[in-house]
Amino acid sequence: MDKELIKVCEAKAQAWLSSPVYDAATQEEVRRMLANEDKTDLIEAFYQNLAFGTGGLRGIMGVGTNRMNIYTVGAATQGLSNYLNKSFKDLEQIAVVIGHDCRNNSRLFAEVSANIFAANGIKVYLFDDMRPTPEMSFAIRQLGCQSGIILTASHNPKEYNGYKAYWDDGAQVLAPHDTGIIEEVNKVQAEDIKGLKTTLDENNPLIEIIGEEIDRQYLEKIKTISIDPEVIQRQKDMKIVYTPIHGTGMMLIPRSLKMWGFENVNTVPEQMVKDGNFPTVQSPNPENAEALSMAIALAKQIDADIVMASDPDADRVGMACKNSAGEWVLVNGNQTCMIFLYYIIKNRIAMGKMKGNEFVVKTIVTTELIKAIADKNHVEMYDCYTGFKWIARQIRLNEGKKQYIGGGEESYGFLAEDFVRDKDAVSACSLLAEICAWAKDQGKTLFDVLMDIYVEYGFALNQTINVVKPGKTGADEIKQMMVDFRANPPKELAGEEVVLVKDYQTLKAADHKGNVTDIDQPEPSNVLQWYTAGGTKVSVRPSGTEPKIKFYVEVQGEMKCPKCYADAEAKAMQTVEGVKNSLGL
């Protein structure tokens, strides 16, 4: 083990023992780490300060500077308070919204943050219980706040928690505020945190508890997204199975579906229990088949039409439907996003709702078929970076000039409205049910709709390959992989020549003939893309929230009929395997 690193970690740990700020239980755990001959726990807890990145904090809960605890959360809140007091110094009263999910310690972290904001003279609207992330985004705009935070680690395993910061437009913070907040957070020492206490100061006039009234306003706005209420009336008995996977979706999604007119919503009882340990799943991630297994079992039992699931903070939606053979299959994030935008564009045109100034947004790693759908229907499409703050930025840039009608990303996030500025599973589940009703009205399933898209716009298979590298050594390995790929980009992928390389770090694109062009994005990002002569696209980027490097592979082809799907998929999978071999994965 690195002796110098151990020394650094021991010094940081000793500082926690010598300061009166840290409570007795925390100091006892620090003593245990110091006394342990195996210094792994000590290093992982103290080798760095948990970075307040552009998305906020996310990490394993526990004691130490590299862990989510009341002190790291407190420092983040104090830094954000300092930045807000500087940025809005002329405002009579600065205000923030605080939301949280179902995770262990989320309520504690929310209440600690409320006390600190209030101690810094900032008005706090604190939700009375867990709520979906998109509702917190909505509340910022609805209540005229300058910022908001949500305590959530989204779909990460139960050991994790997180802290996301939002600006006055209801979106996650972007430049220059992101770096400005990070600078303030990095200046904060534990001794600087005002009002750091673990019980909520309920008598503080600056802390106001909110709940039902905002729920009602939010759900009423979501109901306005419905494109064809009549089709819902005709198919109101359609059987829906929904699971919140123990998370915040249970607060509003069944209620929203009912408000839209769906009368046969079946929830998974064991997963309608608020629990930060997520006892019925290995991981509360709607991308994973295992997380939907109980919902699919119920769907088989009652012969349902659709299965939908939201992650713990209800910003992402996963779904399953029956294929042409009547078997339940998962619909991935790329397909879900494509179905949403296909339905929105097609039916807004059919209902005469298009004015000609509409636009949609996708991320650079999301399927290119969306561009094909938008182009063919003369709808403007923007490509942006991964993360909904970039989609929100595009909405803000076009505000008052063009009409946003939908945007999404391959990681199961979709936003159908502009009064929220983050992905929204509450509206997505409601709209998904409408799409299913529209399909059923024509004697089709969602799977049939997907096949229709492939026949009309071309086939694409998307697969994400995650290479997990935990801890400090893993982070170093991921960094080196990106360096190596930049130095030696692949010449071929699955036997096809690489004809275009895009490097978002330098914002330059170079083709195989040596021509170099600029990439139009607002700032550099650690992403590489390779395009082959046969239409395959591979994107690679380190995850911003988990210890992994992600490879997004898209293989394009054609599908002449719905029955050709299996062949198109098998052929594309061979190419995916070839890509993996070419990259040594």
Supply the residues annotated as catalytic: 154
The span from the first CA to the last CA of the chain, in angstroms, equals: 28
Partners of 57 in the β-ladder:
163
Could you tell me which of 130, 132, 118, 142 has the C-alpha nearest to residue 208?
A: 118
**Residue 479: exposure state from Cβ atoms within 10 A (0-12, 13-18, ≥19):** middle
Bond into 176 cis (ω within 30):
yes
Query: Which residue bears the tokens 């003593």?
Result: 31
Within 8 A by CB and 6+ apart from 199, the residues are 111
Partners of 96 in the β-ladder:
124, 147
DSSP-derived secondary structure letter, 504: T
Q: Count Cβ atoms below 10 Å from residue 36 Cβ, excluding itself.
A: 11
Total residue length of the chain: 585
Q: Which two tokens stand for residue 125?
A: 């609207």
Q: Could you tell me if 43 and 6 are in contact, meaning their C-beta atoms sit under 8 angstroms apart?
A: yes
Q: Could you tell me if 57 and 162 are in contact, meaning their C-beta atoms sit under 8 angstroms apart?
A: yes
Residue type, 182: I
Output the 3-class SS for 160-216. Answer: EEEEEEECCCCCECCCCHHHHHHHHHHHCCHHHCCCCCCCCCCCCCCEEEECHHHHH
List phi, psi (to 5°) of 211.
Answer: -175, -100
Q: Count Cβ atoms below 10 Å from residue 573 Cβ, excluding itself.
A: 13
- Residue 208 has, within 13 A of its CA and on its CB side, a CA count of 13
What CA–CA distance (Å, rounded) separates 232 from 262? Answer: 7
Q: Could you tell me if 510 and 500 are in contact, meaning their C-beta atoms sit under 8 angstroms apart?
A: yes
The set of long-range contacts for 504-509, using a CB threshold of 8 Å and a minimum separation of 24, is 504/364, 504/385, 504/528, 504/529
